[in-house]
Amino acid sequence: MELQDIMTTRVAVVGPDNTVLDACKLMQIHDVGALPVCQHEGKVVGIITDRDIVVRSIANGADPKTTPVRTVMTKEVICATPTMKAEEAAELMARHKIRRLPVVQNDRLLGMISIGDLATTYRLVDEAGEALSEISEPSRPVNIIQ
């Protein structure tokens, strides 16, 4: 099965010059944990996750009302193509320990695929489960605040 058959095509995006607060509001409205960061013509230039916002912005004392998305987004985005096989996407996610992939063609965003999308595709339950277990390997805390 190809990603174009199972990807989400109605994807909320944010621009690199929008604020972190703008990204947070979009995540809340659309009930998502990640947004592709796109230029006006739809070119993906980054991705911002709820984790990026907490770790790279809030934890550093940055003001979400004034901090631009470009300063906290992940710039090296791993992307998929619409004709990529779902199994390949699961392997890509596992290898890079990521849960979501923008699906692009000719430098334009077409959709998003998540580990959840793969898990709900009956043929990929094993692959998605394996990918999720590899992505979600527990880490050991360096410091515990009590």
pTM for the model stands at 0.81
Per the domain annotation, does 141 fall within a domain? no
Query: Span 8-21, mean pLDDT?
Result: 96
Per the domain annotation, does 33 fall within a domain? yes
Average pLDDT, the chain: 86
Q: Calculate the alpha carbon distances from 49 to 27, 71, 84, 106 in Å.
A: 9, 13, 23, 24
pLDDT of residue 126: 56
pLDDT of residue 118: 85
| Paired tokens of 48 | 């911002």
Q: What is the CATH number of the domain that holds 50?
A: 3.10.580.10
pLDDT tens-digit profile of 31-76?
A: 999 999 999 888 999 999 999 999 999 999 999 999 999 999 999 9
Of 108, 142, 109, the closest CA to residue 100 belongs to: 109
Per the domain annotation, does 124 fall within a domain? yes
Per the domain annotation, does 140 fall within a domain? no
Of 143 and 90, more confident = 90
114: which strand partners? Answer: 100
Determine the longest span between alpha carbons in the chain, in angstroms.
50
Please calculate the CA angle 8-18-79 and round it to the nearest 5 degrees: 35
pLDDT of residue 31: 93
Number of domains in the chain: 1
| Paired tokens of 42 | 């739809």
Per the domain annotation, does 105 fall within a domain? yes
pLDDT of residue 139: 46
Token pair 């984790």 is found at: 51
Per the domain annotation, does 84 fall within a domain? yes
Per the domain annotation, does 116 fall within a domain? yes
Check pLDDT > 60 for residue 123: no
pLDDT of residue 41: 85
Per the structure, the complete domain to which residue 111 belongs is given by 3-135
Per the domain annotation, does 145 fall within a domain? no
Check pLDDT > 90 for residue 84: yes
Check pLDDT > 70 for residue 124: no
pLDDT of residue 68: 98
Q: Cβ neighbours of residue 39 under 8 Å, at least 6 residues apart?
A: 15, 16, 45
